[in-house]
């Protein structure tokens, strides 16, 4: 269960980026890429992320995890395939160990959505009755 | 003001950077780090006891650092070999990270140390994700654990540079299917060497030490497919990203917040992936 460490690393990096940017009041969502072979359980990560965010700029932020399928390619056969789980990393065509992993190990913060600048005016903006 | 900012940072970038620095620093002082991973009870300590003793007999300056959630039992066992040994208590943490290892090595590791064996926390899941700056990653499995262990823990076995089977003295009793085990290792990590050992009978004694010495002498370690990075892929090994994009943030308007525009200026947040 290292998802808590992963979640804390995500929170730490987003906080750092927010501090550099300056004026960030709240982070509302974080988009992650999680590869099939990254060794991270998305549900466990979501659970830990919620806890890791408490008391930080990210409190209540949504974690959007995009799963990245594992694919490998063979240098000899110029072929690529979905590696599956457990992964098949020998080339299914020639059986050689000349494979290269093309994707599947990602554990990447793609983007964040945050609120910055001066706090919004409390005066309600005029909105039409239909809304 | 709501904005979306592209960060494109590896989550474990900090650990990777620390590990990279540790590996460089260790190499500069002539020390090679060997990271040992296995499930609890696979026999890491017993194997290491034999290897440390042998290293001492051969006059190779070695040291060992052993990590556990609690107790100093392993350090006491390893210390019997007479080489410098340090116990790291992780206080419940399931894995070691590069900065923890760095802190423990600093000021403790004797200058002349050629090899330092790091016995990671007994766990095949979490430690697999953390580079410790090792030059050789060894994954162990005992014959009692089932031939499909490499398939159940593909990240651990897939990133191994050497696989050690332990407790072969009871292989027959437990019906260990060696060809099946080897085939499963090959599936997730084609080309990695699999070594059979029995700490009790002395089978394979010295192989780990020999492989570690070979790496220390500059022989390249096995490069697992899972650890190879495709060009154009996001690197997480401390090397610069090669995805063609500048590692800076691009603020965008929030699509669902059309009433608020984002400042898109050079004053935008600088989100360098590494310091």
Look at phi and psi of residue B210 and say left if phi exceeds 0, alpha if psi is from -120 to 50, else beta.
Answer: alpha
Strands B251-253 and B2-10 come out as: antiparallel
Could you read off the pLDDT tens digit of each residue along chain A, which spans 131 residues? 689 999 999 999 999 999 999 999 999 999 999 999 998 988 999 999 999 999 999 999 999 999 999 999 988 887 889 999 899 998 888 887 777 899 999 999 999 999 988 765 555 555 555 54
pLDDT at residue A128 in the model: 56
Task: Count residue pairs from A and B with Cβ separation < 8 A.
Answer: 149
Local structure of B215: helix, strand or coil: helix
Q: Which of A89, A106, A127 to mutate to test the interface with B (most CBs of B within 10 A)?
A: A89
Which residues on A lie below 8 Å from B187 (Cβ)? 86-90
Nearest CA in chain B to A6: B11
Considering only the beta carbons, identify the residue of A37, A107, A114 that sits closest to B3: A114
Per DSSP, B28 falls in state H
Query: pLDDT value at position B90?
Result: 87
Sign of CA dihedral B76, B42, B59, B204: positive
Residue A21 token pair: 């940017």
Question: How far does the CA of residue B253 sit from the closest CA of chain A (Å)?
Answer: 10
Question: Helices A3-21 and A42-53: crossing angle, nearest 10°?
Answer: 50
State residue A97 phi and psi, 5-degree precision: -90, 45
**pLDDT at position B69:** 85
- B266–A contact, CB cutoff 8 A: no
Q: How many CB atoms lie within 10 A of CB A48?
A: 22
Q: Does B12 touch chain A (CB under 8 A)?
A: yes
Give residue B271's pLDDT.
40
Judged by a CB distance cut-off of 8 A, whether residue B183 touches chain A is no
A2·B126 Cβ contact <8 A: yes
What pLDDT is attached to residue A1? 67
CA distance B260 to B3: 9
What are the C-alpha distances in Å from A130 to residues A122, A124, A126, B152? 21, 15, 12, 56
From chain B, the residues in CB contact with A116 under 8 A are 1, 3
Q: CB atoms < 10 A from the CB of B241, how many?
A: 18
Sign of CA dihedral A18, A24, A26, A27: negative
Quick one: pLDDT at residue A129?
A: 52
Superfamily of domain B13-227: P-loop containing nucleotide triphosphate hydrolases (3.40.50.300)
- Note whether B67 and B118 are within 8 A (CB): yes
Closest by Cβ to B188, choosing from A20, A89, A107:
A89
Measured over the CA atoms of residue B42, residue B44, residue B45 and residue B46, the dihedral's sign is positive
Chain-chain contact of A101 with B228 (C-beta, under 8 angstroms): yes
Q: What are the structural domains of chain A?
A: 3-69+103-116 (3.30.2320.50)
> Chain A: nearest CA to B83, how far in angstroms?
31
Sort out which chain A residues have CB atoms less than 8 A from B188's CB and list them.
Answer: 86-87, 89
Task: Indicate yes or no: CB of A106 within 8 angstroms of CB of B226.
Answer: no
Prediction pTM value = 0.84
Cβ contact, residue pair B268, A21, below 8 Å: yes
pLDDT per position as a tens digit, B50-78: 999 999 999 999 999 999 888 889 999 99
* A76 CB-near residues (< 8 Å, 6+ apart): A91, A94, A96, A98
**How far is CA B178 from each of CA A87, B141, B145, B184, rounded to the nearest angstrom?**
20, 12, 12, 10
Name the residue facing B234 among A9, A99, A108 (closest C-beta).
Answer: A108
Interface test with A, best of B237, B269, B273, B274 (most A CBs within 10 A): B269
CA distance B271 to A20: 7
List pLDDT tens digits, range A59-95: 999 999 999 999 999 888 878 899 998 999 988 888 8
- Is-contact A36 A70, C-beta < 8 A? yes
> Residue B51 has which token pair?
């290897």
Instruction: List Cα–Cα distances, B25 to B20, B21, B28, B106, in angstroms.
Output: 9, 6, 5, 11
**ipTM, 2 decimals?**
0.82
pLDDT tens over chain B, length 275 residues: 899 999 999 999 999 999 999 999 999 999 999 999 999 999 999 999 999 999 999 999 999 999 988 888 999 999 999 999 999 998 888 899 999 999 999 999 999 999 999 999 999 988 999 999 999 999 999 999 999 999 999 999 999 999 999 999 999 999 999 999 999 999 999 999 999 999 999 999 999 999 999 999 999 999 999 987 654 444 444 333 333 333 445 566 665 444 343 333 233 333 433 33
A60 Cα to chain B: minimum distance (Å):
15
Contact B42, B142 (CB under 8 A): yes
Residue B160 and residue B192 in contact, taking contact as beta carbons nearer than 8 Å: yes
> So what's the pLDDT on residue A119?
66
3-state percent helix, strand, coil for chain A, nearest multiple of 5 = 25, 30, 45
């Amino acid at each position: 269960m290292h998802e808590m460490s992963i979640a804390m690393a995500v929170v730490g990096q987003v906080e750092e980026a927010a501090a550099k940017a300056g004026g960030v009041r709240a982070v509302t969502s974080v988009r992650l890429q999680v590869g099939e072979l990254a060794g991270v359980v998305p549900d466990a990560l979501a659970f830990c992320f919620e806890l890791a965010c408490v008391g930080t700029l990210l409190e209540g932020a949504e974690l959007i995890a995009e799963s990245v399928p594992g694919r490998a390619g063979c240098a000899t056969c110029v072929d690529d395939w979905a590696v599956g789980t457990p992964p098949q990393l020998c080339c299914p065509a020639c059986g050689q160990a000349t494979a290269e992993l093309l994707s599947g190990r990602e554990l990447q913060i793609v983007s964040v959505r945050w609120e910055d600048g001066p706090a919004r005016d409390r005066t309600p903006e005029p909105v039409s009755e239909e809304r | 003001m709501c904005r979306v900012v592209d960060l494109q940072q590896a989550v474990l970038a900090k650990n990777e950077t620390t590990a990279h620095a540790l590996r460089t620093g260790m190499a500069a002082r002539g020390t090679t780090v060997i990271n040992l991973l296995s499930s609890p009870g696979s026999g890491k300590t017993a194997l290491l006891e034999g290897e440390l003793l042998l290293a001492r007999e051969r006059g190779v300056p070695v040291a060992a650092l052993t990590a556990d959630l609690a107790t100093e039992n392993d350090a006491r066992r390893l210390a019997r070999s007479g080489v410098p040994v340090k116990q790291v208590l992780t206080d419940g943490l399931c894995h070691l990270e590069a900065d923890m290892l760095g802190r423990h090595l600093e000021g403790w590791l004797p200058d002349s140390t050629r090899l330092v064996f790091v016995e990671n926390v007994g766990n095949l899941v979490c430690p697999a994700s953390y580079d410790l700056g090792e030059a050789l990653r060894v994954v162990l499995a005992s014959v009692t654990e089932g031939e499909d262990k490499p398939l159940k823990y593909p990240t651990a076995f897939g990133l191994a540079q050497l696989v050690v089977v332990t407790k072969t003295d009871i292989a027959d009793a437990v019906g260990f299917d060696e060809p099946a085990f080897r085939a499963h290792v090959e599936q997730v990590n084609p080309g990695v060497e699999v070594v059979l050992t029995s700490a009790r009978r002395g089978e394979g004694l010295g192989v780990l030490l020999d492989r570690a010495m070979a790496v220390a002498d500059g022989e390249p370690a096995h490069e697992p497919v899972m650890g190879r990075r495709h060009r154009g892929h996001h690197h997480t090994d401390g090397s610069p990203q090669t995805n063609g994009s500048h590692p800076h943030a691009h603020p965008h308007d929030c699509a669902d917040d059309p009433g608020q525009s984002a400042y898109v200026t050079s004053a935008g947040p600088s989100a360098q992936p590494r310091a």
